[in-house]
């Protein structure tokens, strides 16, 4: 493909138009089950690759800090550095990680859809599914983070795959796999955003959105806005950090206690013992505000 066409912006527009747009138009979540499996398989390969490269020595340095592995000997990539490495140091820069994790574990917006899509939708089975999923995700995140840092240390980029050598065939395959996982996982996230926006519009009096009469127009407008942001912003870690600090804190620490205590108040009454007890959950709100504010500050500071 000519270099005049094979550019970042043109590739984003092509993928958004030819792949993401048709997938985002799908209303039935069960139709995306196959793509979800493909996306998870792609993530599993990428994590496996990161583990392998952390153990095989191809990016290793000698005891004196000299290039030793075959992919660091030509000086074309940043050499691993562990000058700031420590097991126990915990400071405000850790809030950048908390912001990213806040976004990584968010699936709340699709919870009702997941519940309805279960073969036998019961609360115990749903709870078991959620716990199992989160444990698997936690294991994947821990493996990827630890092995990625063990390979490159302080010079890890926001997208760890950008640290690997361009001639590393396994790294190239991992980048392709990550691209597929994003493509296949995007419709699930997009659907949650679309339903939330439709609900907001319906609440404001635009009932047609709730009935799905403007489904195509809404998908087109939303995807156009998202594509424009993707073209403009190149540092994915900045987007993850900021959205995780703000939206993550809002969805994890702030809104749930407000909604839960209000539900208990409506069900049991303002004078009930249950309501007075559950009001303690509101203590998460100042914690969420603190994490959000400091997360935004430290994310911006780390990129300055």
Residue 136 has pLDDT above 80, yes or no: yes
* pLDDT band of 270, cuts 50, 70, 90: confident
Q: What is the pLDDT of residues 213-267, one digit of tens each?
A: 678 888 999 999 999 988 888 777 777 777 777 887 888 889 889 999 999 999 9
CB-based contact 245:292 (threshold 8 Å): yes
Give per-residue pLDDT as tens, 57-86.
999 988 777 888 889 888 888 889 888 777
Cβ–Cβ under 8 Å, residues 157 and 26: no
Determine whether 298 is exposed, middle or buried from the number of CB atoms within 10 Å of its CB (0-12, 13-18, 19+). buried
The residues near 33 (Cβ < 8 Å, ≥ 6 apart) are none
Give residue 113's pLDDT band: very low, low, confident or very high (50, 70, 90): confident
Give residue for tokens 């509101």. Answer: 282
């Amino acid at each position: 493909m000519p270099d005049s066409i094979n550019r970042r912006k043109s590739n984003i527009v092509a993928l958004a138009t030819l792949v993401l747009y048709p997938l985002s138009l799908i209303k039935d979540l069960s139709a995306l089950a196959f793509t979800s499996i493909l996306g998870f398989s792609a993530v599993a390969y990428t994590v496996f690759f990161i583990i392998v490269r952390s153990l095989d020595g191809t990016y290793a340095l000698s005891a004196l800090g000299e290039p030793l592995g075959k992919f660091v000997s030509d000086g074309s990539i940043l050499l691993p550095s562990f000058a700031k490495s420590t097991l126990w140091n915990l400071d405000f820069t850790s809030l950048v990680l908390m912001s990213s994790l806040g976004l990584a574990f968010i699936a709340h917006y699709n919870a009702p859809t997941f519940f309805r899509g279960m073969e036998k939708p019961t609360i115990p089975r749903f709870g078991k599914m959620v716990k199992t999923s989160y444990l698997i995700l936690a294991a994947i995140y821990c493996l990827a983070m630890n092995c990625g840092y063990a390979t490159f240390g302080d010079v890890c980029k926001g997208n760890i795959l950008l640290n690997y050598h361009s001639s590393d065939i396994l790294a190239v395959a991992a980048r392709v796999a990550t691209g597929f996982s994003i493509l296949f996982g995007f419709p699930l996230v997009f659907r949650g955003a679309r339903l939330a926006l439709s609900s907001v519009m319906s609440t404001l009096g635009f009932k047609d959105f709730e009935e799905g009469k403007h489904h195509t127009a809404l998908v087109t407008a939303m995807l156009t806005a998202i594509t424009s942001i993707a073209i403009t912003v190149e540092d994915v870690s900045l987007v993850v950090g900021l959205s995780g600090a703000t939206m993550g804190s809002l969805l994890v620490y702030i809104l749930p206690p407000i909604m839960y205590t209000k539900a208990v108040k409506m069900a049991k009454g303002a004078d009930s013992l249950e309501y007075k007890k559950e009001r303690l959950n509101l203590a998460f709100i100042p914690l969420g505000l603190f994490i959000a504010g400091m997360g935004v500050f430290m994310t911006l500071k780390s990129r300055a």
